[in-house]
Amino acid sequence: MRIAMIGLGRMGANMARRLCRAGIEVVGYNRSKDIISQLADEEGMLAASSIDDLIQQLPSPKIVWLMLPAGEITEHHIELLNSKLSKNDIVVDGGNSNYQESIRRGELLKKNSIGYIDAGTSGGVWGLDNGYCMMVGGDTANVKQIEPVLKVLAPSAESGWAHVGPVGAGHFSKMIHNGIEYGMMQAYAEGFALLKNKTEFNYDMAQVTELWRHGSVVRSWLLDLCADFLDQDQELKDIAPYVADSGEGRWTVEESIKQGVATPVLALALHMRFASQDSDAYSNKLLAMMRNAFGGHLTKGK
């Protein structure tokens, strides 16, 4: 099987690696050429010099997977592919696009009989080794076409991926997933801040986080990541207490307003990220480090 991958950033490159290592041929294209050469040399990925070259290297029906930032860049490539692909070809958007945009893009491509799949993807920089959680929206026939790819990218062929509904359902579920992530991270950060500030007990933060990882009801992968980086640095003095929000949290809160569903924890977690730009709180340093640990998101130094 051969597919194309456009966007070889932190996640896209590792997804290409995982596919190549499983025997799926990947034709890769990226704005920066260095990563193309690296993946071609290290993994045997097929290099593309342009979008046209990428398309020419694909058999029909062609499958083109996008791993690009949400917004204008993804929109540009969808429009470009809409003009270059043919009937029964498939475009997969594995980025964090807004689900409403995904529904619109699906309708746009459908006019030319091009299939569209929105694949909410979670796993961050650890996905290469651990696999990715894939939340997939689209027509059943189109999803069936990419099923071998999903089985390789997921933690196993039987788990960690699912066809969750029609076009838009994949990115909607990923949006809610990320909203929940905001709340979980905020709860950990605030709890650890209380421990850190109880100076008379002089807690060993690494010890407590490691303790909670075993048998506790609050154990999770996020806690594992906290234990890892706190074991190296408990003070986080060189980390600026600035926590970015990449969009999905905002969209989740906007959706809760539309539905009239109370989501106070998710809303407050989002607002705490806004507040982090003006705060020197230890909790925000922890939030920044958690984002870096699971997703490779950059932290800001002081």
**Residues noted as catalytic:** 174, 181
Kindly report the backbone phi and psi dihedral angles of residue 64, in degrees, each rounded to the nearest multiple of 5, phi listed first. -120, 120
How long, in residues, is the chain?
A: 302
DSSP output for 231-244? HH-SS-TTB-S---
Nearest 5 degrees, angle CA 211-CA 213-CA 216? 85
Bridge-based pairing of strands 133-137 and 46-47 is unpaired
Nearest 5 degrees, angle CA 77-CA 78-CA 82? 115
Contacts with 154 (C-beta within 8 Å, 6 or more apart), sequence order = 131, 132, 133, 134, 160, 161
Burial of 49 per CB tally in 10 Å (0-12, 13-18, 19+): exposed
Distance CA 180, CA 245 (A): 13
* Residue 301 DSSP symbol: B
* Residue 126 DSSP symbol: G
